[in-house]
Amino acid sequence: METTEAFSGLECTDCGATFDAAETTHRCEECGGILDPAYDLDAIDVDWGTVESRPVDSMWRYEELLPFCRESAVTAEEGGTPLVECPTLAEELGVGRVLIKDEGRNPTGTVLDRGLSLAVTAANGHGASDVALPSTGNDGQAAAAYAGRADLEAHAYLPARSSHTHKSMVNVHGGDMTVTGGRFPDAEAGFREAMAEHDWYSLEAFATPYRHEGEKTLLFEIVEKLEWEVPEAIVYPTGSGLGPVALHKGASQFRDLGVIDELPGIYAAQAEGCAPIVEALGEEREVTEPIEYPDTICGGIEIPDPNASPLILEALRESDGGAVATKDGEILDAAIAVAKNEGLEMDPSSAAAASGAWQLAEGGEFDGDATVVVVSTGTGNKEADVLRSHLMGQGI
């Protein structure tokens, strides 16, 4: 595996054991904990101000803070997405600025392309022939796309409720798809049964150390676009928790390198019908309790038992952020309002962040001059039928 100079290996987030990334692929061999890529930050000799002169072509412009060299990457030029000023939204929220980070413009229309570029690069470097994961939809599609670029076989386990677009594109990209029962835990069960029978390389969130690592570049791009200033808040729609963990790591690295002085407040936005992070934070717990009967239109973030909840909660607390849950109707209203007033298309799961930002603002969470970034994690046209049905139901 061709790695960058500063990348020093993998470290367990639970017991602190360290491993050679060329040999260890997934969980900690000592305790089964989540592994995290580690770096020797002293080995990074970059004038971050000059990074602005690099082409804004992909997340790989931050190669020095990624594990693998750009030359060996399995990439479709993911990243480099716009941070769009939203003046109408800012006025309605009563804050100085609102900007939407539009991740729907990634190759397969999702932020998850960032992490799957890295994860498939690792799988390729480890000599895998087949990769597999359970998915709510977006990451199954993205995994099939990146596996195809690396000439690997992809196996995606999706719940029946995933959108027609997600299911179609897994197959269009050449992936093998298994549709399970109605919700994500059913997809997880199908995936685990298959993994017990096959020697496939897992791309499951937080099983591979590299998916959250790719998503941290989102933070780098936000800070650079804001002229190396930190927004007061970043609101992120949260299911598995890749986003908050990634944002926290990226901000922490930039702070340790002296690029920024403080962390942005990171806020997890969920739907009321499946809000394990919101409940755990409100009850001051260190780990989530599974939601027994999840029920939300936001299938992309309907994860009733996120397996990295201690890391998610740590990211929210250490950044002085928080968590918010809103009703499905409010989430769909937010998606339509953003489309009508700002011209940006958010899928229902993404719109949980916009709806959450509204609720946080109404609750006085933000100062009047605050800069608030809302992350749109996926393009709206993948679930346009859901948005239009809600629109027609309003009689508009």
Please write the tens of the pLDDT for every residue from 77-105.
Answer: 999 999 999 999 999 999 999 999 999 99
Residue 377 and residue 111 in contact, taking contact as beta carbons nearer than 8 Å: yes
Q: Which of 47-61, 112-126, 208-222 has the lowest mean pLDDT?
A: 47-61
Structure tokens at 70: 């750009």
- Interatomic CA distance for residues 72 and 295, integer angstroms: 42
The string of DSSP codes covering 134-163 is E-SSHHHHHHHHHHHHTT-EEEEEE-TTS-
pLDDT-derived band at 47, boundaries 50, 70, 90: confident
Residue whose token pair is 């900690």: 28
Cβ contacts of 175 within 8 Å, gap of 6 or more = 140, 143, 144, 147, 148, 154, 155, 156
% of the chain exceeding 90 in pLDDT: 92
Query: Within 13 A of 369's CA, how many CA atoms are on the CB side?
Result: 0
- State pLDDT tens for residues 277-318: 999 999 999 999 999 999 999 999 999 999 999 999 999 999
DSSP state letter for 241: S
Structure tokens at 136: 């709510």
In what order do the strands lie in the sheet containing 130-134?
A: 176-179, 153-158, 130-134, 201-202
Q: Mean pLDDT across the stretch 54-80?
A: 95
Q: Is the pLDDT of residue 48 over 60?
A: yes
| Residue of 207, 171, 174 lying closest to 192 (CA atoms) | 207
The β-bridge partners of 130 are: 153
Dihedral sign for Cα atoms in the order 179, 185, 189, 192: positive
pLDDT-derived band at 384, boundaries 50, 70, 90: confident
pLDDT value of position 60? 96
Residue 134 and residue 191 in contact, taking contact as beta carbons nearer than 8 Å: yes
Residue whose token pair is 């997890």: 268
Full-model pTM: 0.96
pLDDT-derived band at 52, boundaries 50, 70, 90: confident
The per-residue b/e assignment along 99-121, b for 16 or more CB within 10 angstroms, e otherwise, is bbbbbbbbbbbbbbbbbbbbbbb
Backbone angle region of 109, left / alpha / beta, with phi > 0 → left and psi within -120 to 50 → alpha = left
Q: Mean pLDDT across the stretch 364-377?
A: 97
Q: Mean pLDDT across the stretch 224-239?
A: 97
Residue 237 and residue 335 in contact, taking contact as beta carbons nearer than 8 Å: no
Q: Mean pLDDT across the stretch 307-330?
A: 97
Q: What are phi and psi of 244, to 5 degrees?
A: -60, -40
End-to-end alpha carbon distance in the chain: 55
Residue whose token pair is 């919101």: 278
Residue 324 and residue 360 in contact, taking contact as beta carbons nearer than 8 Å: yes
Helix or strand run (H / E) with residue 325: strand 322-326
Query: What crossing angle do the helices spanning 328-342 and 384-393 adopt, rounded to 10°?
Result: 100
- Interatomic CA distance for residues 206 and 34, integer angstroms: 6
Structure tokens at 1: 């595996």
DSSP state letter for 96: S
Q: Is the pLDDT of residue 395 over 60?
A: no
Query: Within 13 A of 232's CA, how many CA atoms are on the CB side?
Result: 15
The β-bridge partners of 68 are: 3
Cβ contacts of 12 within 8 Å, gap of 6 or more = 18, 19, 28, 30, 31, 33, 34, 35, 36
